[in-house]
Amino acid sequence: MHKTVVIDIVGLSSSVIGAHTPFIQKYISENHFNTIEPLLPAVTTSVQSSYLTGKYPSENGIVGNGWYDHADAEIKFWKQSNKLVNAEKIWDLAKKEDPNFTCANMFWWYNMYSTVDYSVTPRPNYLADGRKLPDCYSQPAELRDHLQAKLGQFPLFQFWGPGANIKSTRWIADASMETEKLYNPTLTLIYLPHLDYCLQKFGPELDKISTELKEIDQVVEELVRFYEGRGARIILLSEYGIAPVNKPIHLNRLFRENGLIQIREERGLELLDPGASKAFVVADHQVAHVYINDKSVTEQVKALLKSVPDIELVLDKTEQEKYHINHDRSGDLVLVAKENSWFTYYFWLDDAKAPDYARVVDIHKKPGYDPVEMFMTSKLRAGYKLLRKKAGFRYVMDVIPLDATLVKGSHGSIKVADRFKPVLVTSKAIDKTLKAPDVYQVIWDSLTV
């Protein structure tokens, strides 16, 4: 099989390719540029799973970055086991075709306990005293130790949150090149998250993100030149583009005001109790899943949703079939926000009673996606918290604001302008409109044709 490298540049779209990305622009001019029709939902885990299986969420089961687990009666986001993806992956087929085939997965999601040969993925170290230390997980296990000894500790706090910057993307790129030198895999999958941060904070405002665009352009150039020197075929792609937004939609608050959501109060703060709620919303960027435990309120829920002007689509289980998102994990209703809008997970009506996790970076406790985690209430307050940490005192890094209007970019919708659609760049011409599952065949052809 032909050596192939797939570089996933998160958030890359025509809207941001230009003067600030000179290498990417030149590379596109020398190769073949395509847009990909957005998947529903156009979010990381769903799109990546579609690319790697050639299947829609209705078949592979990845209906979002998170969903409601009916058995546990819990909302779970950003789980990591590859066994959640219920379809054969491209590397499994390749191994059947060629026993010498090997694959390295460098930070694409669902990267634990898979059948790839080499993998690295974020995995904090949670200590008994409550501290969370930066770390990563690898297969083989010793690869993590080798990479961190050579490159330094994986910069987890620069991977997501208010401190996110080029350091995490640079570390992933360096780790990918080092893994290539160690193992020479046939297929390498590389995830570069850098543009995700600035685009969600500022939207596609080039004057505000010019530095970040130049930074990712330099990393991409280094990777391309390195892998060209290794004789690899290279595919550049993205999962989604990020469009401007200015209207957060607080559906769980609406449901609460209409008696649908059950709240528990602990230590004076409120927690959403999904298992005891009649209906609730799991927000995921511009897509949301509505789960209805009490079917007698279904018509009430639908009527409430019709009263919200910023919802583009309301899909019941039958209508979900048209968009290939119907699955046991999907909501009884799947919602898509209108242009300029996105869904929050917020369920409290008084900020003084917001749960403690609302003001911290905690992607697992929050019952929905929270892009406000990229903002900080006060650098002075954060500095004080870090001093407490260094002094050995217990601390909570509660520096995240509760103002959803801060977010200026989002994704997830299928109804976006061409300039915000995900892209794919290859050395071979493609003579059809690409949908997300078609990327599987593009990768396969690169390996085999």
CA distance 232 to 245: 38
Owner of token pair 């044709």: 449
Greatest Cα pair distance, the chain, in angstroms, is: 63
Tell me the pLDDT of the chain (449 aa) as tens digits. 999 999 999 999 999 999 999 999 999 999 999 999 999 999 999 999 999 999 999 999 999 999 999 999 999 999 999 999 999 999 999 999 999 999 999 999 999 999 999 999 999 998 887 778 899 999 999 999 999 999 999 999 999 999 999 999 999 999 999 999 999 999 999 999 999 999 999 999 999 999 999 999 999 999 999 999 999 999 999 999 999 999 999 999 999 999 999 999 999 999 999 999 999 999 999 999 999 999 999 999 999 999 999 999 999 999 999 999 999 999 999 999 999 999 999 999 999 999 999 999 999 999 999 999 999 985 655 454 455 555 455 556 688 999 999 999 999 999 999 999 999 999 999 999 999 999 999 999 999 99
Strand, coil or helix: 4: strand
Structure tokens at 186: 């046939």
Which residue, 52, 59, 20, is CA-closest to 321? 59
Query: Distance between CA 52 and CA 57 in Å, rounded?
Result: 12
- Number of C-beta neighbours around residue 354 at 10 A: 16
Half-sphere exposure of 297 (CA within 13 A, CB side): 17
182 Rama class: left (phi>0) / alpha (psi -120 to 50) / beta: alpha
The closest alpha carbon to 250, from 337, 333, 373, belongs to 337
Bond from prior residue into 274 cis (ω within 30 degrees of 0): no
Can you tell me the distance from the alpha carbon of 143 to that of 104, in angstroms, rounded to the nearest whole number? Answer: 12
| Alpha-helix runs per DSSP H in 16-165 | 22-30, 44-53, 57-60, 90-97, 141-151
pTM of this prediction?
0.96
Q: Which residue has the tokens 């915000």?
A: 420
